[in-house]
Chain A
Amino acid sequence: MKNSNELLQTVITTGKEIKPDLDRAFLEAVLEAEENFPDDEAEAERRILRALDELFKSKGI
């Protein structure tokens, strides 16, 4: 049973309100990592860090 988009929409909307500088794609990647690996924290963390690296790369950091 997969989660719907409503969870993501709530995260995106909240992000826009309290941390507008945060990248939407990164927040989406975090949620996706958790949903795909709910029992494998190590793998989920790796995915999140990979997404962070990609984000920084895309911004030239």
Chain B
Amino acid sequence: MLQLQRLEVEGFGPFAERQTIALPAAGVTVVYGENMRGKTLLLNAIRYAFFGRVLGRASRQRKLAAISNRDLAKEGKYGFSVSLLFTHDDTQYELLRDCSPLVETPMVDEDYRQSIMLKRGTQVLGPQERDHMLKVIFPEEISRFFLFDGELLQEYEELLINESEAGRRIAEAIEVILGVPALKRSRALLTRLADEADKLAAREAKKSQETQSLGNVLELSVQQREAHEAELRRKQNDLADLTTRRSEIEQSLHVIQKYATIIDERDSRQARFEEAGRETDNYRQELQRTMANAWRTLLREPVRLARDAVASEVQKDIDTYVTQLRGRAINQGMCDVCGQEVVGDVLLALKSAATTANSATAGTDTSLTGAMYRLQDLNRFDDSDNTGEIRQLWKSIKNLEIERATLKDRISELTGALSDSDPDEVRRTNASYAEVHEKISITKRSIDDEIKKILGLNESIERTRRNLEKSAGTDLRRSQLRARTLRDSAEVFGAAIERYKSELRTKVEATASKLFLKMTTEKKDFAGLTINESYGLSIRHQDGRAEEARSAGAEHVVALALMGALQGNAPLQGPIVMDSPFGRLDADHTANVIKALPTMAEQIVLLVYEAEVDKTQMREILGSSLVREYRMEKVSSRRTIIRDLK
């Protein structure tokens, strides 16, 4: 088992001065650090020590020249080193990897020299033994299960997709950690040795006249089988390459599909932009028309006052006129309007009305016609209030302007995203996909043919061998026995592969289920996890059905359960180093995961920022499992120190 003891970094990323982290063998060590302080680089320091590589976002390899501390570079000091003290199966090792400049001002990786030293105890190992031991101690293809970056979580979803290239790679890596390649390689070794033993047996058979022809048949059959096995391996490699190529094309198609989606969105936004422009113009014209009459609103009140005054004047004139008519009617004894005689009661009534009116209208001069015309003009004045309409039109225009500004920005963004696209790419990529798909079908068929031929030859070889046994001498019998032992052993290892994988899947499923149920907050709804052939885990409901769609948070918890299960069941065991592992989790899930951590591996190192998990909470939940705490502190934007919080 691998156990880290001490990590030292100098000149590495923000760690200008030498920084040391002691790592207790058992328990959880937590390193707190805000963003840009160097948490991911600390994980990368371990990766760099073992593999000479630093990975950035999306697992892209970073240039080593960019890792050298910038502050020191300003002082003319370039280069960095990482030292790792660890034990493996109770033997202590010290690993030192150093990157030093070859020129005064190194700019690219080629301007640096990398050196590596591995000590076992006090003995410095030679290059071959060093490289061999590093592969045995910590194979790079399985590092993803020990150096855990939250960004890699979504890769585990690939395990659920059959024939996914990324899924196949991860499944292969899982099989490495579970020890399966040891069985596969053993089978391959034994098969090759068995072939050699068969050839030796054929040569022995040819020495004797009695068995010569059988020897010739055996030799020829073995040679033919070797040739077909070589051809089979070649075609299997071709198939792997074609599958990788198909996967790359599928990714391109996915990107192109993304471009198609971008184009659709851009076109629809462009159409809306133009439509909004037309609407704006319409509103502006409407506003212009409405504003043309807006002055009426200003005159509304004065006109009303004038109208009231004129109406009052008109009324007075009308009263005066009526008084005059009455007066004439009284004097003439006849009405000027209807021509009737004015006598008796009517005369009396008129005289009474005339007396009252005379006092009110005395001295009033009538200009009725003029006043009525003025009143008529004033009544014709359209005093409708259109301020509400004007306000509404302004608001509509403003909203459209805001919408157009937003659309314009978005269109510009989308156009930028399309700047690398090639309109013909879809057509070309589709053609490539069809071609590769066809080649895969052909290659698979020819692989099946080769397998049939090999099986046929195996039967022929077996028949020849049985015939040889009947008349074989001592040496030939011995050769045949060797060949049989080797071939039988190869068969055992072949059968053991499938058995081992099946047993492991069952164990991984059981362990992962237990861990998942510890970490999830939906314990009543979920029964556990179900594993597929590629080690993909799906969530199983109490009703037995699989959870169809998974949130990023659920994905996170399942991936952590898988990691813990692999650690619990793998022959290969070591520490888990996690960088920001709680990013997608809510508070309850985070607390559950922290609680479960000590059961996942003997040695855990967490690189977290305090907003992810509060220190007090961490201490409370982990209790005595929390063995060491550090904090990354900012000296400047390019310098970080690591403080021991003991």
Contacts and interface: CB of A to CB of B under 8 A. Distances in A.
Interface of A: 1-4, 6-7, 10-11, 13-15, 18-19, 21-22, 26-27, 30-31, 33-35, 38-41, 44-45, 48-49, 52, 55-56, 61
A61 B485 CA distance: 13
B189 interface: yes
B341 interface: no
Contacts of A27: 489, 492
Contacts of A21: 488
Contacts of A41: 189
Contacts, number: 103
Closest 3 CB pairs of A and B: A1-B572, A3-B571, A4-B571
Contacts of A35: 182
Nearest to B500: A10
Q: Interface range on chain B: under 10, 10 to 19, 20 to 34, or 35 or more?
A: 35 or more
Nearest to B502: A10
A11 B572 contact: no
Given A1-B138, A34-B182, A56 B478 contact: yes
Contacts of B481: 56, 61
Contact of A14 (B136, B138, B495, B574): B495
Given A14-B499, A56-B481, A34 B189 contact: yes
A28 B645 CA distance: 49
B89 interface: yes
Contact of B571 (A1, A13, A49): A1
Contacts of B135: 38-39
A11 to B, nearest CB: 5
Interface string B299-337: 000000000000000000000000000000000000000
B185 interface: yes
Contact of B499 (A10, A19, A30): A10
Which of B88, B137, B182, B573 is the most central at the interface, judged by chain A CB atoms within 10 Å of its CB? Answer: B182
B627 interface: no
B186 A1 contact: no
A19 B485 CA distance: 10
Contacts of A22: 485, 488-489, 492
14 contacts: A1-B138, A1-B572, A3-B179, A7-B500, A13-B499, A18-B492, A18-B495, A19-B489, A27-B489, A34-B186, A35-B182, A44-B189, A52-B485, A61-B478
Given A1-B137, A39-B135, A30 B571 contact: no
A48 B73 CA distance: 54
Interface in B61-100: 88-89
B189 A10 contact: no
Contacts of B132: 39-40
Interface in B485-503: 485-486, 488-489, 491-493, 495-496, 499-500, 503
Contact of B89 (A2, A33, A48): A2
Given A2-B89, A11-B492, A61-B481, A45 B192 contact: yes
Given A3-B572, A55-B485, 14 more contacts: A1-B88, A1-B137, A1-B572, A1-B573, A10-B500, A11-B492, A18-B491, A31-B183, A34-B185, A38-B181, A38-B185, A45-B192, A48-B189, A52-B482
B1 interface: yes
Contact of B496 (A11, A38, A39): A11
A10 B99 CA distance: 44
Nearest to A31: B186
Interface string B181-205: 1110110011011000000000000
Nearest to A47: B189
Nearest to B142: A1
A31 to B, nearest CB: 6
A21 to B, nearest CB: 8
B572 A19 contact: no
A30 B493 contact: yes
Contacts of A13: 499
B440 interface: no
A27 B492 CA distance: 9
B193 A10 contact: no
B368 interface: no
A26 B186 CA distance: 12
Given A56-B481, A61-B481, A45 B492 contact: no
A39 to B, nearest CB: 6
Interface string B133-151: 0011111000000000000
A11 B500 CA distance: 8
A30 to B, nearest CB: 5
Contacts of A52: 482, 485-486
Contacts of A61: 478, 481
B2 interface: yes
Contacts of B182: 3, 7, 31, 34-35, 38
A4 B89 CA distance: 12
Contacts of B181: 38
Contact of A45 (B183, B193, B489, B499): B193
A35 B481 CA distance: 26
Contacts of B574: 1
